Structure 1
Amino acid sequence: MAMKVVYLNSSILHIQMLTNTTPAQQTVFESCKDMPAGFLFYLCLQFINLSLGIPANVMVLWLIHKNKGDSSTSDIFILHLAILDILFCLMPPLELVNLMYLATGHIWSTLSFVYGVKDCSLLFLSCICLDRYMAVRHPILFAELKDRQHRKVCALAMWALTLAYAVTRCVDTVPNFEKVFIVMILAAFAFMVFCNISILWALSQSGPGRDEMHPVKKRAFKMVLIILAIIVFNYLPPVALFPFKQYFVPDVFRCYIHYFAFGFMDISSSIQPMLYLSKEKLNASLCVKCKGSCCGGKAAQEVST
């Protein structure tokens, strides 16, 4: 009897026992029954995504559609990210069946594809960070490129990469394909942290002849700091743990580390739309106070939205 263990860059673990006759399949619940805390923690976060993430992302889509005449340059990436997250947030019931009751190939393939798509949400997040970085650090070039179609082309390119990654993950024919995810998340995490720290540094600089930060810059600084904290909260666990998989006891990694790390990463599908909605509420209150006039620098306004 031989055992084949397949890991996905999602939160799913498939264990298939291969025999000379009929294959017997074992669920994650059965294989981790002595260490259930990891995947139970993960399932709790997934059902938070189901109950909170879907309505929050639908609200984001509605607000972007409603305010399309006065949208920020990052909204096209936020829109596609919301669509991706809605697809992901629909999966917890099917995943619960797979983890605890069934381990069939059809369910496995469906979840494999969806979680491959979710893995690539980092691409859209990186585009959002790059757009805001350009707005603050290179405002002249940003203004020249603002009204061009390159963001739509970039979004289409991100979807092409996402679908290619998800299909490759689903068919599972590339050896050691999980290393692609590790490289991608390390590169995206470093890039997003760099962009946000650069924005924070630029916003912290006072204008000529001023000793204090402008109030609008101060609000933008706080918002970017919150965004950076959320990025670290969601993505530092997998970044810090997955490259060192070989140093963990296999059962500990399979039943604990795997699910805890992906739990923090996947809850971003609820946290990110809630952050966007909170910013929209803040921007609306500022517009009321300013009676529709521009209250500050354009770069700070782009960052705050």
Structure 2
Amino acid sequence: MTSSAVNFTSPEAFTNSTINSFGLTDNLEMCAFCITFLFGFPLHSYITWLIITGAGNGAASEFFNLNLSVCEICNCLNSMLGIVSHFFSSFIIVTYFLQGLGFTGRPLFHCLICVERYLAVVHPVTFLKYKPLRYRVICCAAIWTITLGSCLFCIFILFSFSMVLYVWFISVQFFLFFLIQLFCLVAVLRALKQSGPGERKREEENHMKKRAFSLILLTTVIMIMQYTPFTVTGFYAILTQNNFLDFWCPAFLFYVLAGFVQPILYLKRAKKLFCLHSAS
């Protein structure tokens, strides 16, 4: 997403801000775009390659992570287009369309991973029933469809020139996704406190529940880091009538940095993060 894409009240102002404005905000934003593309693209491409080749737990069990990585790769390519759009305003439409991947696709796949861990711990019979790959494909296809709708809605926001609608679109999604992950987190925490029938079996169950709880907690914290700054920034700008771009870069930096947590932890879990693996 680009600052020029969210700083317009008319088509003329939109075009002029895209081409002529290149101050401190734009420089910081371009640095964030460069970090996302230069580090995020090879990182997520490597994870995708690991999952496809079966270096992790296999493509079937990691199918949600595979789709998340593909979504992140598209986000990284959008960052590259964000840089290009500063010089060629025609690319702004493409970058705005792909924002749906970051605002909807990424958190939805995070939620799907959390729901999967929730079912595995709280409803293991249901989890085993829907564990086959075909059900995972159906879930991911539904999410990609919803994400496509979000991308189209971003284009609608572009042509409606409504910053209020833009902020509400982000905030409502964040709130709903947060509720889903919070529900999974609390449910797994309650299951973690329950004891199993046998000592050894109880230890194995507790270990699985603790891992599920840690994963859900992590994804929830990541989502809070990514979207809370955007939500607070947007509402503050609307209520105070201040320029949204004055507070955009800090929120965007949180969004960029939080996106690296999940892939790094995946590489650590797959024992492919060389610096941590060698030190352990």
Summarize the Cα distance change of 1:262–1:47 in structure 2 as closer, same or farther, 3 Å threshold: same
Secondary structure of the corresponding residue to residue 25 of structure 1: helix
Aligned partner of 2:277 in structure 1 is: none
Aligned partner of 2:47 in structure 1 is: 60
Aligned partner of 2:270 in structure 1 is: 280
Counterpart amino acid of residue 246 in structure 2: C
Secondary structure of the corresponding residue to residue 281 of structure 1: coil
**Does 1:265 pair with 2:255?**
yes
CA offset digits 1:145-174 (Å, max 9, x no partner): 212622211211111121122123225345
Aligned partner of 1:207 in structure 2 is: 196
Aligned partner of 2:275 in structure 1 is: none
Counterpart amino acid of residue 94 in structure 1: L
**Does 1:233 pair with 2:220?**
no
Identity %: 25
Counterpart amino acid of residue 181 in structure 2: M
Q: Is the 8 A contact 1:234 1:268 kept in 2?
A: yes
Aligned partner of 1:47 in structure 2 is: 34
Distance 1:127 1:66 in 2: 23
Aligned partner of 1:98 in structure 2 is: 85
Summarize the Cα distance change of 1:225–1:125 in structure 2 as closer, same or farther, 3 Å threshold: closer
Secondary structure of the corresponding residue to residue 13 of structure 1: helix
Name the one with the larger helix percent.
Answer: 2
Distance 1:40 1:117 in 2: 23
Count how many residue pairs are aligned between Structure 1 and Structure 2: 263
Aligned partner of 2:64 in structure 1 is: 77
Aligned partner of 2:178 in structure 1 is: 189
**Higher normalized contact order (CA 8 Å, seq sep 6+, divided by chain length):** 1
Counterpart amino acid of residue 124 in structure 1: F
Counterpart amino acid of residue 67 in structure 2: H
Name the one with the larger strand percent.
Answer: 1
Aligned partner of 2:276 in structure 1 is: none
TM-score (normalised: structure 2)? 0.77
Q: Is the 8 A contact 1:42 1:260 kept in 2?
A: no
Q: Is the 8 A contact 2:171 2:231 kept in 1?
A: yes
Distance 2:14 2:27 in 1: 27
**Does 1:248 pair with 2:237?**
no
Q: Is the 8 A contact 1:11 1:263 kept in 2?
A: no
Summarize the Cα distance change of 1:91–1:78 in structure 2 as closer, same or farther, 3 Å threshold: same
Q: Is the 8 A contact 1:95 1:111 kept in 2?
A: yes
Unpaired segments ≥5 residues, structure 2: 273-280
Aligned with residue 155 of structure 1, among 134, 140, 144: 140
Aligned partner of 1:144 in structure 2 is: 129
Counterpart amino acid of residue 118 in structure 1: G
CA offset digits 1:67-103 (Å, max 9, x no partner): 289537662222111111111112334323434xx36
TM-score (normalised: structure 1)? 0.71
